[in-house]
Amino acid sequence: MSVQKFNFEAVKSIYFFEMARMRRTLLQSVISPVITTSLYFIVFGTAIGSRIQEVGGVSYGSFITPGLIMLTLLTQCISNGSIGIYFPKFTGTIYELLSAPVAMAEVLIGYVGAAASKGLIIGLIILATASFFVDIHIAHPFMMAVFLVLTAVTFSLFGFIIGIWAKNFEQLNIVPMLVVPPLTFLGGSFYSIDMLPPFWQAVSHFNPVLYLVSGFRWSFYEIADVNPVVSLGMIGLFLVICLSILAWIFRTGYRLRS
């Protein structure tokens, strides 16, 4: 191997190029998720929530806030991460990434960094929005940030994998549209899983989103469906799985270089 220096300029270029795309599509990428989440707060938090008793000692509206942030964060990170790399593949501009002196790891850092940043920005905006509707109390701000950042990075990586795998727009959208919402809804975003019958409680433990929502909610209210350490471990595991898949993709050139 020759001496390989890290192409920092390239990472910076990709990152800011992608962030500029977000500025350009402000309506679609920021305003729309914020409005959607606000609707959830109005319907579930304020209208219906006022008739639901407290869950684990917090009001229902407050209870669902971490889950709603996670729902948006997952969806946003997956779609931003996948579109970022799928679009150059679709338009053909990927020739430039492949013929530039950049390692795929640098391409990954640029795209995933931008996707995760966007997800985080939107997540924080929603958190701020939520505080208008319900009482928010963050017991462990540092752990909240850790959960948020790890989840954003992991699911942006997952999105990147989808973006490389997808051959058309249908495949690109199938995961964020069809897989993420059921997993989030059934992963304890709107209820505590101990409200479920035992069988479905057991099934819920196979849902990765449960661990994210539970850990994230713990950092707010110290109430959790699973031990927060287990949650953290599971996010770490997803991160390692995504990185392993990407390592294989880059080594083989799967769907990138023929």
- Cβ 117 to another protein shortest distance, Å: 18
Task: Indicate which single residue of 23, 51, 92, 251 sits in contact with another protein (rule: CB under 8 A).
Answer: 92
Among 35, 47, 96, 200, binds another protein (CB under 8 A): 96
Burial of 4 (0-12, 13-18, 19+ CB in 10 A): exposed
By CB under 8 A, residue 100 contacts another protein: yes
Compare residues 16 and 200 and give the one whose CB is closer to another protein.
Answer: 16
Question: Which listed residue (64, 97, 164, 234) binds another protein by CB under 8 A?
Answer: 97
| Residue 230 to residues 31, 66, 150, Cα–Cα distance (Å) | 34, 18, 14
Q: How far is the CB of 32 from another protein (least distance, A)?
A: 18
Of residues 112 through 141, those in contact with another protein by CB under 8 A are none
Enumerate residues 6+ apart whose C-beta is below 8 A from 19. Answer: 114, 117, 118
Stretch of residues binding another protein (CB under 8 A), selected from 29-37, 55-63, 100-108, 226-234:
100-108
Task: Indicate the residue among 48 and 247 with the shorter CB distance to another protein.
Answer: 247
CA pseudo-torsion sign 230, 232, 233, 237 = positive
12 touches another protein by CB under 8 A: yes
**Cα–Cα distances in angstroms (integers) from residue 87 to residues 35, 43, 155, 192, 230, in the given order:** 26, 35, 18, 38, 36
- Residue 248 found at the interface with another protein (CB under 8 A): no
Residue from 51, 142, 199, 258 that binds another protein (CB under 8 A)? 258
Instruction: Give residues in contact with another protein (CB under 8 A).
Output: 1-2, 4-5, 7-10, 12-14, 17, 20-21, 24, 87-88, 91-93, 95-103, 253, 257-258
